[in-house]
Chains A and B, each alone.
Chain A
Amino acid sequence: MKKQIWSTSACVVMLGLTQAADAADIQFRGFGSFVGGSTLSSDETLYGYEDTLNFRNDSLMALQMDAKLDAKLKATMQIIGRGEDGYEPVVEWAYMTYDFSDNFQVSAGRIRIPFYRYSDFIDVGYAYNWLGVPQTVYGFDFPGYDGLSGVYSSQFGSWDSSFQVIFGQFEGQTGDLDATMEDLKGFSWTLTRDWLTLRAGYVSSKATIDIPNIEQLIGAIEPIAAGTDVDFAALSSALQVDRDPGDFFGLAVGIDRNNILIDAEYIEYALDDSLIAETSAYYLAAGYRFGKWIPLLTYSRSKSDPPEDVVNTLPAAAPGEPMGVSILRQYIAGAVAATETEIKLMDVALRYDFHHSAAFKLAWTQEENMSGDKNQLLRFGVDLVF
């Protein structure tokens, strides 16, 4: 009797499986990185690393499920567990794709915002030669948006072109800050010809970001402003990132010819009517492929220009003005000046493809700030895809 029940349920299970296989062709793939690192001395910190060996910050494991419903319709979900979050799984991509033709596909769901050349596969360390992308350029980091993406692929002579348009919204966290982006729209255009890749991208939105430092500043100046006829609401709004128009623009060039590798990317972004500095950054990387070994040198620089026009929210300095107004102006000018930063980054990385699906990497990274303080980080790790 027991045996009978067992075989009945086995039949049910088998039928179920067969049906599932009929309904959709499901594939699982994934990638992972295991990275360890530490700074070179006790007074240095960089990207969350200190001078004790840390294996969590850059380690991750991800699983992607692709369900092909038919030749044109597909559903995709990517779950990433990051070491820094105790490998707690988070669904970072979840979208359905419909192929209108061989050249044109539309995806809907949660998708990565295509800010940078490496944005879309920034977590897939195996797909690039650095151990980590240069943070001077890639620091402006938002995870997936919710909305639509259309990709049009075509060929012009010997150029392959891929044009992506996005539209949607973002609600979540950038770094540790709560943020939203409304009216998020943008495009990215990649042209590839043999050994040359060119890319341009643009993203704009109305952004809101809760920044504790700005809230503290507003809290500090409120009592001062109260004693003057300064429009405090307008002043706070000029400091906060509250539905302010933001633009992001990027250009990239990649060369992979006769084992010589050259990569360059330039980006700039601005958030109007806020205390966020207008920032521009670039990197230049050069490497050489010696069979399975690739050494790669990177130099990068980022510069943030203080948003001077915030001060103009206050009335122009005039003799005999109330003291409160002068103090306010000093406060604001100080906060504006403090947003100026300039960071130089140097990175030396080595990749070794020890397996057809895995690479070992070693990297030394140094960031130097405006006052000449240097922080150096040594990292090693393994990236794999499966």
Chain B
Amino acid sequence: MKLFSALLILLFSVATYSEVVVIVHPSNNNSFAKDEIEALFMVKKSSFADGAKASAYYLSADDPVRHQFDEKILGKSSSQLKAYWSKLVFTGKGTPPPELGNSAEAIAKVAGDTSAIAYVDKAAVKDNVKVVFTLP
């Protein structure tokens, strides 16, 4: 029983404490402050600081990384974020960023698209993308 709880705690910690990073294409030379990242992921901005087109990507709602990013960077629970986008989508005033299945998919997307910006589990990052921000 003790072992079981220890295992649970371990599993839980792994899920909770995966480090989350924001990634862009290696050719993207902009610098990113938290406010800038928030604006891009809330689609209040659709271009990077240098004026190039920016396309943000979310992870699917089931991904634990998504949950951390929503809370820490966007300041909303996943439900609040869903409600926020529902207001815009069903009134024609905005569309949420497309969702990608998991960190590996997001990394593949960003590696092949100079306009892409996404957040992923740091452990999944390879050198085909550039890390521009690490979540506190």
Whether A160 is near chain B, meaning CB under 8 Å from some CB there, is yes
Whether A64 is near chain B, meaning CB under 8 Å from some CB there, is yes
Whether B2 is near chain A, meaning CB under 8 Å from some CB there, is no
Whether A87 is near chain B, meaning CB under 8 Å from some CB there, is no
Q: Given that A160-B44, A356-B78 are contacting pairs, would A127 and B92 also be in contact in the complex, using a CB cutoff of 8 Å? A: no
CA–CA, A162 and B94, complex, Å: 12
**A121 near B79 (CB under 8 angstroms)?**
no
Whether B95 is near chain A, meaning CB under 8 Å from some CB there, is yes
Neighbouring A residues of B44 by C-beta, 8 Å: 155, 160
Neighbouring B residues of A123 by C-beta, 8 Å: 90
CA–CA, A160 and B89, complex, Å: 18
**B92 near A385 (CB under 8 angstroms)?**
no
Neighbouring B residues of A102 by C-beta, 8 Å: 46
Closest beta carbon of chain A to B66's beta carbon, Å: 9
CA–CA, A268 and B62, complex, Å: 44
Chain A interface, >50% SS class: strand
Whether A353 is near chain B, meaning CB under 8 Å from some CB there, is yes
**A359 near B79 (CB under 8 angstroms)?**
yes
Whether A365 is near chain B, meaning CB under 8 Å from some CB there, is no
**B87 near A385 (CB under 8 angstroms)?**
no
Whether A167 is near chain B, meaning CB under 8 Å from some CB there, is no
CA–CA, A123 and B90, complex, Å: 9
CA–CA, A111 and B90, complex, Å: 11
Neighbouring B residues of A121 by C-beta, 8 Å: 86-87, 90-91
Per-residue contact bits, chain B 110-131, to A (CB 8 Å; 1 contact, 0 not): 0000000000000000000000
Closest beta carbon of chain A to B15's beta carbon, Å: 16
Neighbouring A residues of B90 by C-beta, 8 Å: 29, 31, 62, 64, 78, 120-121, 123-124, 127
Per-residue contact bits, chain A 207-249, to B (CB 8 Å; 1 contact, 0 not): 0000000000000000000000000000000000000000000
Interface size in chain A (residues, C-beta < 8 A): 33
**A292 near B79 (CB under 8 angstroms)?**
yes
Specify which of B46, B87, B89, B95 lies most central, judged by the most chain A CB atoms within 10 Å of its CB. B89
**A385 near B82 (CB under 8 angstroms)?**
yes
Whether A282 is near chain B, meaning CB under 8 Å from some CB there, is no
Closest beta carbon of chain A to B133's beta carbon, Å: 20
Whether B74 is near chain A, meaning CB under 8 Å from some CB there, is no
B residues lining the A interface (CB < 8 Å): 44, 46, 61-62, 77-79, 82-83, 86-87, 89-93, 95
Given contacts A120-B93, A126-B86, 12 further A-B contacts (CB under 8 A): A78-B90, A93-B92, A111-B92, A123-B90, A126-B83, A127-B83, A127-B86, A127-B87, A162-B93, A292-B79, A356-B61, A356-B79
